[in-house]
Structure 1
Amino acid sequence: MPHLQFEINKKVAKETKENFVIEIRECFSEVMDTGTDHIAVSIREYDKYSLSIGRADFKDDICLMNLDIREGRTIEKRRELALRFMDIVKNNFGIIQKNQYLTFTEHKGEDFHLVEKYLASWESGEDPLV
């Protein structure tokens, strides 16, 4: 169950968040070759000066992303996902890519639990809830 966490230093409309979550889930499913029902997304909004990246001005909009995913994806797939997520953040939240920072944390499938079961290791084309 990937947990895709987005921290931004601005407030955004409910409709923007809804669209963002849909785009993020669809993108993750497509790039990582998995279903969507197990994808968790968090959006955390902070005050302007509560987030920073060294190369950005303190007045700039910032997005920090922490993606907890199951291990097994190639660096090429992770890089593709990172760049596509950065575009989605830019298009939905208006935050330029140089002011975004993304970290992957990989876990064994058994580290992800839903009420039905824990997840198995990732396999291409899977639906982990079946």
Structure 2
Amino acid sequence: MPHLQFEINKKVCKETKEEFAKQIRDVFSEVMDTGKDHIAISLREYEKYSLSIGRADPKDDICLMNLDIREGRTIEKRRELALRFMEIVKVNFQVDTKNQYLTFTEHKGEDFHLVEKFLASWESGEDPLV
């Protein structure tokens, strides 16, 4: 069950959040070759000066991303996901890609739990809730 966490230093409307979550879920499922029902997304909104990246002007919009995922994906897949997520953030929240920072944290499948079960290790084309 990936937990995809996004922190931005601005407020956005409900409709934008809904569209953002849909796009993130769709892209994650496509790139990482998995189902959608187990994907968790957090969006945290902070005030302007609450987030910082060294190369960004303090007045800039910023997005920090931490993606907790199951281990097993290649660096190429993770890089593709990172770049596609950065574009989604740019389009939906108007955050310049140079002001975005993304970190992957990989876990064994058994570290992810839903009420039905814990997840197995990732396998291509899977639906982990079946």
Task: Name the TM-score, length of structure 2 as normaliser.
Answer: 1.00
Task: Name the aligned partner's letter for residue 13 of structure 2.
Answer: A
Aligned to 2:119: 119
> Displacement, 1:9?
0.1
Question: What whole-Å deviation, never above 9, does each CA across 1:53-112 have from its counterpart, x for those lacking one?
Answer: 000000000000000000000000000000000000000000010000000000000000
Superposed CA RMSD: 0.2
Task: Specify every segment of 5 or more residues in structure 1 that has no aligned partner in the other structure, as ranges.
Answer: none
> Displacement, 1:3?
0.1
Partner Cα distance (2:91, 2:29) in 1? 19
Aligned to 1:61: 61
Task: Name the aligned partner's letter for residue 61 of structure 1.
Answer: D
Taking only the aligned residue pairs, the percentage that are identical comes to: 85
Partner Cα distance (2:25, 2:97) in 1? 20
1:16-95 aligned within 5 A? 16-95=16-95
Task: Specify every segment of 5 or more residues in structure 2 that has no aligned partner in the other structure, as ranges.
Answer: none
Aligned residues: 130
Task: Name the TM-score, length of structure 1 as normaliser.
Answer: 1.00
